[in-house]
């Protein structure tokens, strides 16, 4: 059982929904980013998604694209991202960390070496948005053999024919993308999301977590009420980009977490 599995089992036992927060590793710099990441559990975050900066983030909207650029310009690398996870683990051995990004840096490192390093650093799962199920032998299956969850995205365009393929080797949780398009593009609507979550849950025992378009405590509560939890990324990244102190960013995160946990 991974930390992700344990976390969702614990939340289920408490009758609570999950709040997942995404931050870009190294944005705006290593030290500030690490301070934010270390503060997330205390702000009510159940699972941390740690963005791996990449030069061509095709699924991301402007907020996360710019965060990646800032991180890269500040010297963030795959090694530094793993170092951030290691530093976090010195004080927290229970909060799951999911590394989210693109395949190129992992491919360049070499899958076996990357998985060994990720496991050692305390990474629990991977979301690699540009690897479809047809490429499961590349990373998904090796990751699961190494003891990491491989979390797949389902979208509004994942029809009933495609869904079983998407779910086939997924573990940890299913990330349902609430809107078509890029991150931060539109507002998620619970009325649209609810039937899609129900459709996915009819095909899997895994928790279904909804992301994209969740920006306020009210939306977090509404979306979490029709799923097993929600993810917020762009809104948190934008708070950090505005130059607010870490304490204010974490206060904003706590308001979102409180919203999700009210569901």
Residue extents of the structural domains in the chain: 3-262
Q: Show contacts of 29-36: CB within 8 Å, 24+ apart.
A: 29/74, 30/74, 30/75, 30/76, 30/80, 30/84, 32/240, 32/246, 33/71, 33/84, 34/84, 34/87, 34/88, 35/246, 36/240, 36/246, 36/249, 36/250
| pLDDT at residue number 185 | 62
The catalytically annotated residue of 5, 27, 49, 228 is 49
Confidence class of residue 149 from pLDDT cuts 50, 70 and 90? very high
Told to judge if 136 belongs to the known catalytic residues of this protein, a careful annotator would answer no
- 196-222 pLDDT per residue, tens: 999 999 999 999 999 998 999 999 999
The better pLDDT of the pair 250, 59 is held by 250
Residue 13 has pLDDT above 80, yes or no: yes
CATH code, residues 3-262: 3.20.20.70
Q: How far, in Å, CA of 150 to CA of 191, rounded?
A: 28
- 227 — pLDDT class (breaks 50, 70, 90): very high
The pLDDT mean for the chain works out to 95
Summarize pLDDT for 90-122 with one digit per residue, the tens: 999 999 999 999 999 999 999 999 999 999 999
User: pLDDT category, 50, cuts 50, 70, 90?
Assistant: very high
The average pLDDT across 129-135 equals 95
Q: Has 239 been annotated as catalytic?
A: no
Provide the pLDDT for residue 184.
62
Residue 61 has what pLDDT? 85
pLDDT over 70 (residue 66)? yes
**Percent of residues, the chain, with pLDDT higher than 70:** 98
Average pLDDT (163-184) is 89
pTM given for the model: 0.96
| Catalytic residue selected from 5, 27, 60, 124 | 60
* Whether the Cβ atoms of residue 245 and residue 32 lie closer than 8 Å to each other: no
């Amino acid at each position: 059982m991974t930390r992700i599995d344990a976390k969702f089992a614990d939340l289920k036992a408490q009758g609570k929904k999950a709040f997942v927060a995404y931050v870009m590793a190294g944005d705006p710099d290593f030290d500030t980013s690490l301070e934010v990441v270390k503060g997330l559990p205390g702000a009510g975050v159940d699972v941390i998604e740690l963005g791996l900066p990449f030069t061509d983030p095709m699924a991301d909207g402007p907020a996360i694209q710019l965060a990646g650029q800032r991180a890269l310009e500040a010297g963030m690398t795959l090694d530094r991202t793993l170092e951030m996870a290691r530093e976090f683990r010195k004080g927290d051995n229970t909060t799951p960390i999911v590394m989210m990004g693109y395949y190129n840096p992992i491919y360049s490192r070499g899958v076996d070496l990357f998985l060994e390093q990720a496991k050692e650093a305390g990474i629990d799962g991977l979301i690699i948005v540009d690897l479809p199920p047809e490429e499961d032998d590349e990373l998904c299956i090796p990751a699961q053999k190494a003891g990491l969850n491989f979390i797949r995205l389902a979208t509004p365009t994942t029809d009933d024919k495609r869904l079983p393929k998407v779910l086939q080797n997924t573990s940890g949780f299913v990330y349902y993308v609430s809107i078509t398009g890029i991150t931060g593009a539109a507002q998620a609507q619970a009325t649209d999301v609810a039937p899609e979550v129900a459709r996915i849950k009819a095909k899997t025992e895994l928790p279904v977590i909804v992301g994209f378009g969740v920006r306020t405590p009210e939306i977090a509560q509404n979306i979490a009420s029709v799923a097993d939890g929600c993810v917020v990324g762009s809104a948190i990244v934008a708070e950090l980009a505005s130059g607010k102190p870490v304490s204010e960013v974490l206060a904003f995160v706590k308001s979102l977490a409180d919203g999700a946990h009210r569901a």
